Amino acid sequence: MNAGWSVSPLQAALHCRCPRCGKGRLYGGYLEVADRCESCGLDLKKADSGDGPAVFLILGLGALFVPLALWVDAVWAPSKWVHMAIWVPTVLGTTLLLIRPLKAYFIALQYRHRASDSGTEDYDKDE
């Protein structure tokens, strides 16, 4: 196993930690990636998950909640405001809960596979 791969992408994502060492914080804000890992010094400025996490959340949560909302409507037939009161906070809350670890997972996979925007330069030039 490569020394740079001691942290699994899933472990780094669940804890929102550096994909190299698993100790430093990945985020400087809610979704803003830190410039460098405070623990190992990994340059995180190149880390860019793009639109991947948002796309997976849109498709995944849509596939989960739309049939559920249709089922609730078919069984109990609540009014529109009840649907709004149930589904807007549920979808919004689930999205806000999952977006950080999903973005961290994409960044950890990018580090693991040494991916970059251009495909010609290494993600981590230190190794």
Structural domain for 81, as ranges = 3-112
Q: What is the number of structural domains in the chain? A: 1
In a domain, 77, yes or no: yes
Whether the pTM exceeds 0.85: the reply is yes
Q: Could you tell me if residue 76 is inside a domain?
A: yes
Per-residue pLDDT of the chain (127 residues; tens, 9 = 90+): 444 457 999 999 999 999 999 999 999 999 999 999 999 999 998 888 999 999 999 999 999 999 999 999 999 999 999 999 999 999 999 999 999 999 999 999 999 988 866 555 566 665 4
Asked if the structure places residue 119 within a domain, the reply is no
Is the residue at 62 inside a domain?
A: yes
Under 8 Å between Cβ of 35 and 45: yes
Sequence-separated (6 or more) residues with CB below 8 Å from residue 49 = 103, 106, 107, 110
Residue 15 is assigned to a structural domain of this protein: yes
> 27 has which bridge partners?
33
Do the domain assignments include residue 97?
A: yes
Q: What is the pLDDT of residue 1?
A: 40
- Say what the pLDDT of residue 91 is: 97
Q: Is residue 30 assigned to a domain?
A: yes
Q: Does 123 map to a domain?
A: no
